Amino acid sequence: MSKSAPTPPDYAGAAQVQGQSSAALSEAQTAANRPTLNTPFGSQDWTVAPYKDPVTGQTVGKWTQNTTLTPAMQAALTQQQGITSGQSDIAASLLGQEKGQEQTPIDFSKMMGIAPTPGTSGPVAPGTFAPTPGATTTNTDPASVYNQKASDAAFGLFKNYNQPLMEQAKSQLDTQLQNQGLKPGDQAYDTAMRNLENQQSMSTLQAENQSVLTGAQVGSEQQRRDLAAQEQAYGQKLTGAQYQTEAEKALFGEKMAGGQQDFSQRLAGAQYQDTAAQEQMAQEMQKRGFTLNQINAILHGNQVNLPQTPSFATAGGAQPVQALTAAQEQGQAANAAFSAEQQGTAGMETGVGSLALAAAIYY
């Protein structure tokens, strides 16, 4: 008669034993990796206290890392924190000043250069010393008209070329700022747009100043040509009519020279005004960034850092007791022995049955 099958090993108990062994190893390894480190700047140690895990309900060890500075390092850190707090207070007090500067537009109209104009002793218009009645001359426009026409033409070229580019730049900056999450009314958005507008205003102002100078030069040259042509025609008429005397020619030449000298002086004065206006613009732009630079300098001073503790070789991982594996192997061995015994019993019974059958046939 065969024996009954072997009793299966206690897998649950083996797994529990292995889990307890793993937990104990983990706790031991954690404790091994919590040494007290001492340096010339301070120390670092650990404390552990019971803690109930809200998920599992088990009581585990809760570790706390503590860093203690030496009295000298602690005093330095306390002083640094006080300095940092004071720096923040100073920087905060300057924000109102910086905001006021950024929100106040620059009045470029007060920095415009003065265009030169012909003086009272300027060129005498042809016809002052007219020939006899019946002879006709054609007067030219004043120098201011020539200058204004040439200046308007030069500035018109600038606007026709740069105005679309300026609008495109503003549109691109608006798109870029909105892609960054900014919108009109935000300080960063308004500051960026205002800076671009100031740059464009300065560029336009410089173009206006340059057009004034260009207009003075081109207008003066054009007037000179017209005057030369008119003087030639006038001289021909005077020569033909013999009405112009040598004294009148000398006086006319003196007045022309005096007017040119006066015009040159006014032109030099206008150039001086333009240079002064550009310097004022540069000063205004520098003044706007001065307070902001002060705030950055106050907030970004040298910082005292906490001392770094040295590293150490941590404890390596260890394997827990393999109770579950042992139980599995034990069960497999018992089942193998039971199977072998069952096969032997079946062979014996088969042999006895064959002998009994042979005896029955013989008798």
Number of domains in the chain: 1
What whole-number distance in Å separates Cα of residue 21 and Cα of residue 13? Answer: 12
- What is the domain range of residue 195? 88-299
Residue 136: what pLDDT? 46
318 pLDDT band, cuts 50/70/90, is low
Q: What is the mean pLDDT of residues 210-232?
A: 78
Specify if 146 maps to a domain: yes
What whole-number distance in Å separates Cα of residue 157 and Cα of residue 175? Answer: 28
Could you tell me the pTM of the whole model? Answer: 0.33
288 pLDDT band, cuts 50/70/90, is low
Q: How does pLDDT run across 117-153, given as a tens digit for each residue?
A: 555 544 545 555 555 544 444 566 787 887 788 878 8
Q: What is the mean pLDDT of residues 10-28?
A: 73
Specify if 137 maps to a domain: yes
Maximum average pLDDT range among 44-48, 209-213, 228-232, 304-308: 44-48
350 pLDDT band, cuts 50/70/90, is low
Specify if 16 maps to a domain: no
Residue 218: what pLDDT? 80
Residue 175: what pLDDT? 93
287 pLDDT band, cuts 50/70/90, is low
> Range with the lowest mean pLDDT among 13-27, 256-270, 308-322?
308-322
Residue 134: what pLDDT? 46
What whole-number distance in Å separates Cα of residue 214 and Cα of residue 70? Answer: 74
Is the pLDDT score of 22 beyond 80? no
As a whole number, the mean pLDDT across the chain is: 75
Specify if 23 maps to a domain: no
Specify if 243 maps to a domain: yes
Q: Residue 244: name the closest of 132, 121, 124 by CA.
A: 132
Specify if 10 maps to a domain: no
Residue 273: what pLDDT? 76
Q: How does pLDDT run across 296-310, given as a tens digit for each residue?
A: 777 666 555 656 666
Residue 194: what pLDDT? 92
What whole-number distance in Å separates Cα of residue 283 and Cα of residue 285? Answer: 5
Q: What is the mean pLDDT of residues 168-184?
A: 90
Is the pLDDT score of 179 beyond 70? yes
Is the pLDDT score of 208 beyond 60? yes
Specify if 131 maps to a domain: yes
Using CB atoms within 10 A of its CB, is residue 211 exposed (0-12), middle (13-18) or buried (19+)? buried
Portion of the chain with pLDDT greater than 70, in percent = 70
134 neighbors 155 (Cβ within 8 angstroms) = no
Start-to-end Cα distance in the chain:
29
Residues constituting the chain: 363
Specify if 52 maps to a domain: no
What φ, ψ does residue 317 adopt, rounded to 5°? -75, 145
Name the DSSP letter for residue 116: P
Residue 1: what pLDDT? 46
